[in-house]
């Protein structure tokens, strides 16, 4: 966010009585990779469509590089857009698809050939110039779509769940490729997804959308390790939420008395008033199970279920009336269902959410 | 659920026979040697096809059918395509319902009613008994077929293709020209073929608005059969069916090619 | 891509005017007081509506139209629905192409050709100048509308619903009765309405196969206008349009209800 | 597999020249939960459709409880089927949908009411009797579909990607519910999915399909920990595959010389000839990175990339010319990109695949 490149200023969008984007401010820096993540209907795609020019904001303004763009039609915005279904022109060859934006800009024949060749080589489709889109696999089509969005060297590339239609292995490969291209070309990328892994692995920053507003924006580790709200904590990864009341605050460590009476010690950046009700979020991988305690926080729990996940075990335990989920690595010895064990976790694994 | 196959097949054949019977009844008579439209056929000959192409009234009517058919096709295809483009994507508004009804009205309004209306109107504007009048009349009933076909083709186009083109720098006019129309082309061609076929087949409207100089083949068949029942009619019918089947094959071919390339 | 909106609107209005003009020309004359089908209208009256309902020829023709229309609707709907069920799911076989062409043939074959064929055939089977003959003739051209509508409705049904019903214990006949037909009902009703409208509108075939006792309203209008041009025609046309719009509204209503409930 | 309940005997299915299921044998025991997992087009859904009776085998036979069923039409097979899109009858209410199979079996009015009420209560939809399917959420519709497939107490329930259309949280909830119902009612369930997590967490056994054949069938841990082939190892979870030659075999421990010259010690149940080329599969979570070695196998590696995944870090390293992926927990100190570290793993983490 060093320099504000794309700026949404109090942007709202309503369809009839449905407010889809609600008085939203967002600044994206030049060269940043920002993911918009949220449940369907949370407004992330609508925001992207407004940036691309396919929808007009009901109120507010959008500017890029200091110039307002919200009155410009899409074809004057100079942004590359990649769609989930690729949106390749079925009646044109791969070359013609990729050359299309250059033709629109009146490029010369030789320049077109040169740039199309270069960008198709970049996405490793140099041998597919004359194919029709239908003759390509999903991953290849997505590469053509990417090439077409990059060939006219737009400053901003918008991607609307571009990898949603690909299978897992291919998706991971394309994630790496896009990350790579982002670093190499220094593009500003706005990326809409509902896949949290995608957002965590690719982005400089993630904006978590909920009901047309951004609940939290920050780096992947800020979002995952220091979620501000219960919604963010539950949306990104899995989490355990325990309710309690603050009983003291000393040296950055809160003491919280849970509803079951147990005492937790929780690190907290900000002071919270004694007596206030709070929710504590603890990630499943932050808890260790054993016969005796190891950390500063210990809860006596009974194992209720163990689910095999291949690379880890998901252990469900009951701490008083609170069910907790624990991610146990396969290296450690797994407890048995019905066994009483101690769940321990350090104060730094606990985080207060609102 | 491929059940009850035998009963379906039997019933299907019966319905096919039911539909085809009138055609089977008339087509062989095209090749009769006799001057009566009757069975049994004494000897086979192509004299009635020769008659069609040499008799002045028939030759004129063939030329008239082609002139009016082509005129109707061009006018109806242009108007119908523009109308389909205009109606597009408004499927949930009340206005859309109104316009769609208007465009499809000529499909269901009796030709007699339209014919009377046109006769009255054309007399006033000097269109009565002119080629332009007949073309306009045929266009009115051909437009719905174009609208239906082009609308179906447009519905098959993913809007995101047009959004993509716009984001790549194409203005709305260029999007229309480079993306929308090429993708809708199979529907436009189908519509044009239907418009041509409609013009060829039309009798009732032609009776009302055409003068003796604009007699089409269908109109000529209609009068011939009422005046003297000659096998020339069967020969004309035969040519009609062959033409129709050829046009139908063309439409199917275009559809299949477009399916394959999309 | 809601571009060029003004030009589209202007052009759209022009096309609408073009299509509606013949109707606007004739409909006001239904209310004339004069005995001539001419503008200007001296005084307004409903005398021609009274004439329609009292003059013997018109009364008979209305009854004939209803009898023949209902008969055609029942026959065409049953045959067309069975045909659509039989054609279903075979969209990629060659046989399907053949059958579909056969079913849609009457839509494109000139009515004159069909009419001649039927006249020949009906004379042989004693169907000429009978109600049954007219109903059969109208059914042949009404079936394609039923097939098209029911086929569209069937295409909208997810095959897995029928698989699910079978897996839950329903035999093919029960699946048809409890799942397929209820879900296709909107299409069947639309098809029936189109069949009825087609029968009402048909003139050319009726001229060939109907005797004086089977004169329908459309046929009666046709002869009247050729014998003496009376405003009764405009009144009949008015009733026609009102009926058509009512039927069209019915179809739209059924479609929308089915969209909502699916 | 205590007692063979469902038995596929040399079943093949071809559509035209495409063989979709290829000479397949499979036995499923009474009360078992078997998942069929594989890429699309691998024949898993076709096999299910043949069991349900919607498709006929080209050759071979299918029997259930000792009786051949492959000539029976679907409505005489008495199996509950749950479809991905739920396949609820849109023109019937929830009650009517669920009562449908009972009506087909000529149940009395009072019996129908009683059993529909009971099963809808079981899936927590007691309050929705009179709703139409369209008025329900995706999860609720799936519950109705489940109730409808269970209400006539079939011995076998077939599920064709039943959770594919649900979002992540709901899917996990429904996984638990189906697992629960399976245990409570003792049903035999055949479950088709392309989601490996679903298969790992729910199944008694998993059959991995590839090109119309079963590559491997076994318990989740057999499939994950002891994959027989490279395809299985790569399809379930992530893995690293190293190529080498066997140099010795002693006491259940193979020595393998990698292409780069390094020596690995690998546990192996079966003896493999010295000199044979093999592939060694090592799961990313089985490798530890550190300044010095810890295990019996050690490779000197250079860190090439680190990708943040929230609950873990995915570290990409180069061992000679072999790229390796390592899953590092967040508790351990992460290495830096470019650093040289030691990757260590015990022989029991290595597994020979063909």
DSSP string, B199-242: HHH--HHHHHH--GGG--HHHHHHHHHHH---THHHHHHHHHHH
**D231 in a domain, yes or no?**
no
Ranking A150-159, D65-74, D250-259, D324-333 by mean pLDDT, the lowest is: D324-333
Peptide bond preceding C40: is omega within 30 degrees of 0, i.e. cis?
yes
Q: Are residues D138 and D282 in the same domain?
A: no
Q: What is the mean pLDDT of residues D238-258?
A: 89
Reported confidence tier of residue A1, pLDDT bands at 50, 70, 90 = very low
The contacts found for D208-211 with CB under 8 angstroms, 24 or more apart, are D208/D37, D208/D38, D208/D232, D208/D235, D208/D236, D209/D36, D209/D37, D209/D38, D209/D39, D209/D42, D209/D43, D209/D44, D209/D47, D210/D38, D210/D39, D210/D42, D210/D235, D211/D22, D211/D42, D211/D43
* Cβ contact A282:A325 at 8 Å: no
Domains identified in chain A, total number? 2
**D232 in a domain, yes or no?**
no
Q: Are residues A25 and A134 in the same domain?
A: yes
Q: Are residues A282 and A193 in the same domain?
A: no
CATH number for the region C44-261 comes to: 1.10.3720.10
List of residues 6+ apart from C202 with CB closer than 8 A: C111, C137, C138, C141, C216, C218
List of residues 6+ apart from B242 with CB closer than 8 A: none
* Closest CA–CA distance from residue D205 to any residue of chain C (Å): 25
Q: Residues A143-198: pLDDT tens digits? A: 999 999 999 999 899 999 998 777 777 888 889 889 888 988 889 999 999 888 89
Q: What is the DSSP letter of A161?
A: S
**A101 in a domain, yes or no?**
yes
Check if D263 contacts A (Cβ < 8 Å). Answer: no
- Report the pLDDT value the prediction gives residue B45, as an integer from 0 to 100: 86
Q: Residues A267-312: pLDDT tens digits? A: 887 788 888 999 999 999 989 888 776 668 888 899 998 888 988 9
Q: How long a stretch of residues is chain D? A: 354
* Closest CA–CA distance from residue D72 to any residue of chain C (Å): 11
| D-chain residues near C179 (CB < 8 A) | 89
> How many beta carbons lie within 10 A of that of residue A305, not counting itself?
15
Q: Which chains touch A (3 or more CB pairs under 8 A)?
A: B, D
**D233 in a domain, yes or no?**
no
Q: Is B109's CB within 8 Å of C240's CB?
A: yes
Of A221, A311, A314, the CB nearest to D285: A311
What is the spatial distance between Cα D120 and Cα D136, in angstroms, rounded to a whole number? 14
Taking CA atoms, C46 is separated from B122, C55, C192, in Å, by 26, 14, 32
Check if D106 contacts C (Cβ < 8 Å). Answer: no
Helices of type H across D53-108: 94-104
Q: Are residues A111 and A249 in the same domain?
A: no
Q: Is A200's CB within 8 Å of D39's CB?
A: no
> Three-state SS for D12?
strand
Check if B166 contacts C (Cβ < 8 Å). Answer: yes
Q: Are residues A61 and A203 in the same domain?
A: yes
The domain spanning residue A203 has which CATH number? Answer: 3.40.50.300
Q: Is A81's CB within 8 Å of B163's CB?
A: yes
Query: Which of residues A204, A226, A248 is at a domain's end?
Result: A226
* Cβ contact A36:A190 at 8 Å: yes
- Dihedrals φ, ψ of A201, to 5°? -85, -25
Mean pLDDT, chain A, whole residue set = 90
* Cβ contact B30:B48 at 8 Å: yes
Q: What is the mean pLDDT of residues D299-311?
A: 90
What is the spatial distance between Cα B109 and Cα C240, in angstroms, rounded to a whole number? 8
Q: Which chains touch B (3 or more CB pairs under 8 A)?
A: A, C
Ranking B231-235, D94-98, D134-138 by mean pLDDT, the lowest is: B231-235
Percent of chain C's residues with pLDDT above 90: 23
Q: Are residues A155 and A13 in the same domain?
A: yes
- pLDDT(D347) > 50: yes
Q: Are residues A167 and A313 in the same domain?
A: no
Reported confidence tier of residue D334, pLDDT bands at 50, 70, 90 = confident
Q: Residues A30-44: pLDDT tens digits? A: 999 999 999 888 999
* Cβ contact D37:D210 at 8 Å: no
Torsion-angle region of residue C43: left (phi > 0), alpha (psi -120 to 50) or beta? beta
Q: What is the DSSP letter of A334?
A: P
What is the spatial distance between Cα C38 and Cα C34, in angstroms, rounded to a whole number? 8
Query: Which of residues A203, A226, A249 is at a domain's end?
Result: A226
* Cβ contact B186:B153 at 8 Å: yes
Query: Which of residues A226, A251, A268 is at a domain's end?
Result: A226
- pLDDT(D141) > 50: yes
Q: Is D310's CB within 8 Å of A284's CB?
A: no
Q: Is C183's CB within 8 Å of D90's CB?
A: yes
- pLDDT(C262) > 50: no
Q: Which helix (H) or strand (E) holds C227?
A: helix C217-227
Q: Is A284's CB within 8 Å of D311's CB?
A: yes
Per-residue pLDDT of chain B in tens (262 residues, 90 and over written 9)? 344 456 666 776 777 777 777 777 778 888 888 887 777 888 888 888 888 888 888 889 889 999 999 999 999 999 999 888 887 765 555 666 666 667 667 766 778 888 888 888 888 888 888 999 999 999 988 988 898 889 888 988 988 999 999 999 999 999 999 999 999 998 898 899 889 988 988 888 898 888 888 888 888 888 877 666 778 888 888 888 788 778 777 777 776 666 554 4
**A149 in a domain, yes or no?**
yes
Taking CA atoms, A131 is separated from A91, A125, A144, A288, in Å, by 11, 10, 11, 55
Q: Are residues A69 and A207 in the same domain?
A: yes
Q: Is C112's CB within 8 Å of B222's CB?
A: yes
**D342 in a domain, yes or no?**
yes
* Closest CA–CA distance from residue C166 to any residue of chain D (Å): 5
Q: Are residues D192 and D267 in the same domain?
A: no
* Cβ contact C81:C191 at 8 Å: yes
Please give the angle made by the CA atoms of D230, D235 and D238, to the nearest 5 degrees: 90
CA-nearest residue to D180 within chain A is A305
**A136 in a domain, yes or no?**
yes
Taking CA atoms, D239 is separated from C18, D230, D236, D284, D351, in Å, by 70, 9, 9, 6, 11
The domain spanning residue D297 has which CATH number? Answer: 2.40.50.100
Q: Are residues D219 and D71 in the same domain?
A: yes
Q: Are residues A108 and A215 in the same domain?
A: yes
Q: What is the mean pLDDT of residues D49-66?
A: 94
Could you tell me which residue, A330 or C62, shows the higher pLDDT?
C62
Q: Are residues A42 and A127 in the same domain?
A: yes
**A85 in a domain, yes or no?**
yes
Domain range for D201:
4-226
Interface test with B, best of C23, C69, C173, C194 (most B CBs within 10 A): C23
- Report the pLDDT value the prediction gives residue C168, as an integer from 0 to 100: 95
Of A73, A91, A149, the CB nearest to B182: A91
What is the spatial distance between Cα A283 and Cα A235, in angstroms, rounded to a whole number? 12
Strands (E), D197-293: 205-210, 213-218, 240-250, 253-258, 263-267, 277-282, 288-290
């Amino acid at each position: 966010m060093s320099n504000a490149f794309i700026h949404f200023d109090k942007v709202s969008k309503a369809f009839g009585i449905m407010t889809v984007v609600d008085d939203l401010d967002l600044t994206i820096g030049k060269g940043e990779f920002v993911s918009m993540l949220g449940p369907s209907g949370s407004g992330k795609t609508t925001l992207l469509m407004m940036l691309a020019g396919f929808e007009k904001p009901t109120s507010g303004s959008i500017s890029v590089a200091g110039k307002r763009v919200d009155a410009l039609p899409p074809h004057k915005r100079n942004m590359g857009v990649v769609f989930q279904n690729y949106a390749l022109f079925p009646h044109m060859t791969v070359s013609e698809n990729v050359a299309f934006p250059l033709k629109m800009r009146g490029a010369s024949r030789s320049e077109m050939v040169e740039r199309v060749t270069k960008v198709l080589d970049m996405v490793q489709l140099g041998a597919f110039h004359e194919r029709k889109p239908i003759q390509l696999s999903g991953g290849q089509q997505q590469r053509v779509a990417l090439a077409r969005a990059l060939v006219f060297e737009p400053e901003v590339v918008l991607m609307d769940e571009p990898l949603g239609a690909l299978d897992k292995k291919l998706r991971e490969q394309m994630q790496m490729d896009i990350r790579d291209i982002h670093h190499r070309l220094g593009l500003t990328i706005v990326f809409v997804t509902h896949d949290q892994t995608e957002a965590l692995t690719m982005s400089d920053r993630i904006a978590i959308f909920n009901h047309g507003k951004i609940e939290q924006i920050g780096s992947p580790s800020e979002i995952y390790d220091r979620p501000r709200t219960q919604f963010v904590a539950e949306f990104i990864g899995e989490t355990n939420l325990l309710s309690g009341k603050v009983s003291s605050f000393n040296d950055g460590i809160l003491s919280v008395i849970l509803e079951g009476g147990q005492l937790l010690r929780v690190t907290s950046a900000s002071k919270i008033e004694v007596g206030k009700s709070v929710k504590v979020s603890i990630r499943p991988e932050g808890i260790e199970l054993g016969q005796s305690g190891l950390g500063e926080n210990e809860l006596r729990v009974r194992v209720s279920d163990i689910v095999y996940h291949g690379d880890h075990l998901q252990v469900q335990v009951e701490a008083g009336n609170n069910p907790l989920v624990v991610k146990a690595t396969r290296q450690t010895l797994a407890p048995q269902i019905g066994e009483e064990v101690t769940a321990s976790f350090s104060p730094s694994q606990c985080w207060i959410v609102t | 659920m491929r059940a009850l196959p035998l009963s379906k097949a039997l019933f299907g054949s019966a319905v096919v026979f039911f539909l085809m019977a009138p055609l089977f009844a008339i087509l062989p008579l095209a090749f009769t040697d006799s001057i009566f439209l009757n069975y049994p056929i004494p000897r086979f000959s192509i004299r009635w096809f020769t008659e069609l192409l040499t008799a002045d009234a028939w030759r004129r009517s063939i030329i008239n059918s082609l002139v009016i058919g082509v005129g109707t096709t061009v006018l109806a295809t242009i108007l119908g395509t523009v109308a389909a483009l205009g109606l597009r994507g408004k499927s949930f508004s009340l206005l859309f319902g109104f316009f769609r009804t208007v465009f499809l009205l000529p499909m269901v309004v009796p030709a007699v009613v339209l014919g009377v209306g046109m006769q009255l109107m054309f007399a006033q504007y000097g269109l009565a008994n002119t080629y332009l009048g007949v073309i306009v009349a045929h266009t009115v009933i051909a437009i719905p077929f174009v609208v239906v076909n082009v609308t179906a083709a447009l519905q098959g186009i993913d809007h995101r293709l047009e959004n993509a083109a716009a984001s790549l720098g194409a203005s709305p006019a260029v999007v229309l020209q480079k993306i929308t129309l090429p993708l809708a082309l199979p529907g436009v061609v189908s519509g044009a073929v239907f418009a041509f076929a409609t013009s060829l087949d039309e009798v009732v409207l032609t009776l009302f608005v055409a003068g003796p100089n604009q007699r089409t083949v269908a109109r000529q068949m209609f009068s011939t059969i009422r005046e003297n029942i000659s096998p020339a009619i069967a020969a004309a019918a035969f040519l009609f069916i062959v033409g129709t089947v050829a046009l139908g094959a063309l439409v199917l071919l275009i559809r299949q090619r477009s399916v394959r390339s999309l």
